[in-house]
Structure 1
Amino acid sequence: MLSLSHPQPQRQPGAASTALRRTSRWPAATPVSRRRRASHIAASAILLPGGGGGPGDRKLPFTPPPMAPPGQLYQPYHPPPSPLPANFRNLDLTQRLEVLRDRMGLWHEYAPLISALARDGFTPSSIEEATGISGVEQNCLVVASQVRDSLLDEKLAFPPDLLPYFDSLGGPDLLYELRFLNARQRADAARHAVAHKLEPRGVRDLARAMKEFPRRRLEDGWAAFDGASPADCFAFARLRQSREAIDVADRVAELERALKVVETDAARARVELELERARKKAAGEEVEEGEGEGGTAARPGVTVVRLQYGEVADASTVLLLPVVRETDGVAAMESAPRRTKTDADLGLVEVDKAWARWAVVPGWGPVAEAADDAVVIELADGRRLPWRTAEEEPVLVIASRSQKEVVEQGIYVLEKEGRLVVERGRKLAQEGIAAAAAQVLIVVRPPRDEDDGISDEEWD
C-alpha cells in the first residue's frame, strides 16, 4: 500500500532532537526532486495515523472491481450475438460465398450470410458480383428472413406447421410484403395468406388494407368491419374501391370480391347492402343516391354551419339558449327552461325556471323563429350524426321542442337507451315512430384553429 509523505518545514538546528521525536512514526523527508516525482503517483488508498498497517488503520471507502470467473477475463462490454447460424460460423469467407452462390439449403437459412457480409464491408454490388444475387433480391431475402423470425415469437402463437409454406422460393416475396405491419398483424396476415393461398400481389394488397384501415374510420360503413380481422380489412378496402369505380359493372365485381373474403356478420351485411344497391343500379332500377346503411346519407337534411372566431361578438342579434348533454335524456331536455318574455329594445330575456348551462349563438333566422322552445343538445362526437360527412368533433344540435311530428324529410332528436340521438325522419317512419322529442333546426360545428384561406404569397 502506498503511503503519501508530506514535505517537512525547515527547522532550526537546536530543535533537531524535538523534531525527531515528533516525526518518529513518519519516514524521513525526501529531496525536493523526488517529492515532485512522487506527487504524480496515484494512490489507491491513504494510510491515516493510527497504526502501522494493523487493525487500527483507517482507509477511505473502496469498492473492488467485479471479479471474472476463473480462467476468464473481465469484459464489461458484450458484443452483439453473431447473425450467422451455428452451422455457418466455422466457414471461411470463400465457403460462405459458395453457399450463397449455389443456394445451399433453404432461403431463410443462408439469408443471414448476406447481413454478415455487409457487416464485413461488402456492398450489394460486390455481393452480387461474387454470388449472382442482385441487390433487390438481397434486400428481399434479408427483410423476409427478419419477418419470418418475428413469427417465431411465442407470444404470437403462430402455428409452426404453417412456416413450411414459406420455405419455397416464393416465400421471401410473400413475407417481404408484410414488413410494414406490426408483429401481431404480421402473424394474422400470414395466416390469412396461407389459408387463401395468396400470391405476392394479394399479400401486398392485404397488408396495405390492414395498414390503412385505422385511418379510414370517418368513411361510411367503417364501424361495421372488424379491424382485428384481416379478412374484414381486405373486404373494406374492396368496398372503398367499388365506390371509386366509374362503371357499374366494375363496382359490382369489386363488391363480389369483398363478399368472398369478408368474415364477420356485420361486415357481410354491410357488403350485401352495397351489392344489392349496385345491382339495382346496374339493372336500371331507381336508387336514391347517397343512401347507405340505416338511412345514412352523404348530405345532411339540415343546415350545418361552422362558427368563426369572433362571429358571436360581431353578430347584430344573439340568442341565449339552454344546453343539455346527450347523456341527460329526454326528461332533461323537456325540463330545460323556455322563454316567456323578451324586451327587444334592451335585450332582456325572461325564462320560466333557473338553469345552469347556456349557449350564446348568432340570431340565425330558423333559430330565431323557434327561440321560445329551442334547446341545444351537446354531442361529444359529431360522427353520431346520421350522415357520412360528419367528423370527429364536438357539435351543438339546435332543436325545436314544439315540432315533434315526424316527416320523412326532417331530422329529429329522440332518446335511445338513455341517450339523445339524431335520426332521419325517413328511418323513423320505417320504424313506425310518428313523434320525436324535437326537430333539428341547425347543427353548429366548432371553429377551426387553422386558416383555410390562401395567402397572396401562395398565389404568386
Structure 2
Amino acid sequence: MSHDLDSQTAQLLQRLRRKEGTWQDWGQGCQHLQKAGHSPQAIFEATGIEPIHQNQLIIAVQVAQSLRAGNASPSVLAYFQERGSDLLYELRVLSQRDRVAAATLIVEKQLDGATVHEVCRALKTMSYQKGESEDFTDTLGDRIGHYYWQLARQQRDLAQRSRLIAQGFRFVDSEKGRRALETLLTDLTVVSATPQPRLPLYRLETAEELPYLIPVAGCAPLTAAALTAVPALKPTGAFSLVDVERPLTVVALPGWQVLLNAVDPVALLWPVAELPAELPSSDNLIPITQVLLIVDRGRQEWQGDRYLLIEETTAEPLRLAWYPQAPSAPILGQLLLVLRPAQILDNTVNRELWLLEE
C-alpha cells in the first residue's frame, strides 16, 4: 500500500512538473500533496511551482468549486476551465452569491486582473453599506457603480474624477444610478471622505508576551490524588490556543523559558509559612502569606539542586522539600518556580494611555 502511494505521488509530481492538464488540475494536485504532508517548499523543489503560486491555485480551485455549487452558467464554468486562476483568486473575498455574479460579469465584460481587483474591493466595501442609497439598487452592477460614485464625489482632481465616473457608467445597471453619475459631471462639489479607522493591530514580539496557561491543582494542603487528577494542557497553533474539556481553574503566566521547557507543569497555591526555605526580603512592605508554585509533574527524578514535591504517606498532604540524597518516598514532581503575587498598588495606572517622547 505504501509503495502504491509513493508511486501515485511520484506520478502527480511529474504531471505538475510537466504542467499537464489545466490549472485546476494543478491546483487540485498541489492541494492533494499539501494534505498528504508535503510542504510548499518541497513541492516547489519537485515541480517548479512557487509556494505563492501554489496558494493562488488552491484557492482559485476552491472558488471554482463554489461557482459550480452556486449554479453558475455552463459558459462561465467553461470560461474558467483553462484560464483565469488569477481572476478567481480575487473573488475569494466575496460571498458565494457575489462570486457567481462577479464571475459572470468577468466573462461578459472580459475584465482584466486589475479591474477585477477593483470590482472585488468595491463589492466588499459596499457590503457594509446595504440600503444606504436611494439612487442605486442592490444589483451587482449598481453596487459597483455606487462605489465609483462615492469615490468620484470625494475627488478634486478632474481627470481622476472623470475616470471614476466612467468606471461607474461601465458597470451601473439602473437608470436612477446612471442619472446619479450624470449629476457628477456638472456638480463639482467635493464631499470629504470619512476616514476609515486603522485596525488596532498588535503583535507579540517575544515568547514572554504570549501567556502560558497552567492548570491549578488547588491550595495546600493537597493530596497526590488531587495533583494527578488535573489534566495537562496542550497549547496548539500560532496563538497557543488551549482546549479545556471540563471545568478547570487555570493561571496565565508569561512564556518564560522555564515554563516552555517544562514537560507537564501544574500550579499550586502554597502558604509561605510552609515553604522549605525563607523567601528573600522584599522592598514592598505588603506582607505575603501565599505564593504560587509551579511543579513539573513530568520530572519525577531526584536532583541535588532541586526542590521536590513528595508524598511521604497516603494519609499525609504533599510536602515540598529538598533532599541531599534521593528520598524513599514517591517523587511527584520538581519545583520549577515560586511566584510572588503581583504588587500593583494602583491598577488604574495600567489602564491609562501614556504619551512617550522618543
TM-score, length-scaled by structure 1: 0.39
Letter in 2 for 1:457: L
Deviations 1:405-448 (A, max 9, x none): xxxxxxxxxxxxxxxxxxxxxxxxxxxxxxxxxxxxxxxxxxxx
5+ long unaligned stretches in structure 1: 1-87, 279-288, 292-296, 299-454
User: Structure 1 residues 174 and 255 mapped into 2: Cα distance closer, same or farther (>3 Å)?
Assistant: same
Residues 251, 113 of structure 1: alpha-carbon distance in 2 compared, 3 angstrom cutoff: same
Distance (whole Å) between structure 2 residues aligned to residue 205 and residue 250 of structure 1 = 15
Q: Is the 8 A contact 1:206 1:230 kept in 2?
A: no
1:272 corresponding residue in structure 2:
182
- Structure 2 portions without partners, runs of 5+: 194-350
1:165 equivalent to 2:76? Answer: no
Query: Which residue of the partner structure matches residue 136 of structure 2?
Result: 225
1: CA distance between counterparts of 2:38 and 2:6? 19
Contact 2:68 2:77 in 1 (8 A): no
CA separation of 1:91/1:199 partners in 2, compared to 1, >3 Å: closer, same or farther?
farther
Which residue matches 1:118?
A: 34
Q: Distance in 2 between matches of 1:127 and 1:137?
A: 11
Find the aligned partners of 1:140 and 1:106 in 2 and give their Cα distance.
14
- Displacement after TM superposition at 1:459 (Å): 4.5
1:260 Cα shift?
Answer: 2.5
Q: Work out which of the residue numbers 94, 119, 124 in structure 2 matches 1:211.
A: 124
What secondary structure is seen at the aligned counterpart in 1 of 2:91? coil
- 1:130, 1:267 → 2: CA distance? 52
Deviations 1:272-324, CA, capped at 9 Å, x for gaps: 1122223xxxxxxxxxx579xxxxx99xxxxxxxxxxxxxxxxxxxxxxxxxx
Indicate the SS of the match to 2:114.
helix
Which of the residues 141, 152, 164 maps onto 2:68?
152
The CA distance in 2 between the partners of 1:89 and 1:149, in whole Å, is: 26
1:23 is matched with which residue? none
Matched, 1:105 2:29: no
Secondary structure at 2:128 match in 1: helix
Name the larger-Rg structure. Answer: 1
2:104 aligned with 1:188: no
Pairwise CA distance, 1:127: 0.3
In structure 1, C-alpha distance between the alignment counterparts of 2:6 and 2:38, rounded to whole Å: 19
**How much does 1:217 deviate?**
5.3
**In the alignment, which of 142, 159, 163 is matched to residue 253 of structure 1?**
163
The superposition leaves residues 38-70 of structure 1 with CA deviations (integer Å, 9 ceiling, x where unpaired) of xxxxxxxxxxxxxxxxxxxxxxxxxxxxxxxxx
1:110-157 C-alpha deviation (Å, 9 max, x unpaired): 32111111122211110000000001110011000010011112xx33
Q: Distance in 2 between matches of 1:131 and 1:178?
A: 26
Q: 1:89–1:276: structure 2 CA closer, same or farther, 3 Å change rule? A: farther
CA distance in 2, matches of 1:161, 1:239: 31
Please tell me whether the aligned partners of residues 217 and 223 of structure 1 are also in contact (alpha carbons under 8 angstroms): no
Check the 8 A contact 1:245/1:251 in 2, yes or no: yes
Cα 1:246–1:90, aligned 2, differ >3 Å: closer, same or farther? Answer: same
| 1:67 paired residue number | none
In the alignment, what sits opposite 1:407?
Answer: none
1:201 correspondence with 2:111: no
**How big is each residue's C-alpha offset from its partner over 1:141-187, in whole Å with a ceiling of 9 and x where there is no partner?**
1000010011112xx33111221211334x11010000011111100
Maintained 8 Å contact 2:155/2:190 = no
Give the counterpart letter for 2:74 in structure 1. P
- Deviation of 1:90 after TM superposition, in Å, equals 11
User: Counterpart of 1:202 in structure 2: which amino acid?
Assistant: T
Report the count of equivalent residues. 196
CA distance 1:266–1:94, change in 2 (3 Å): same
Structure-2 separation of matches of 1:277 and 1:226: 22
Q: Write the distance in 2 (CA, Å) between the matches of 1:239 and 1:89.
A: 56
SS of the residue corresponding to residue 142 of structure 1 reads helix
Which of 138, 143, 146 does residue 236 from structure 1 map onto? 146
SS of the counterpart of 1:157? Answer: coil
Give the Cα separation in 1 of the matches to 2:36 and 2:170.
49
Residue of 50, 74, 87 corresponding to 1:134: 50
Q: Normalising by structure 2, what TM-score?
A: 0.50
Tell me the equivalent position of 1:425. Answer: none
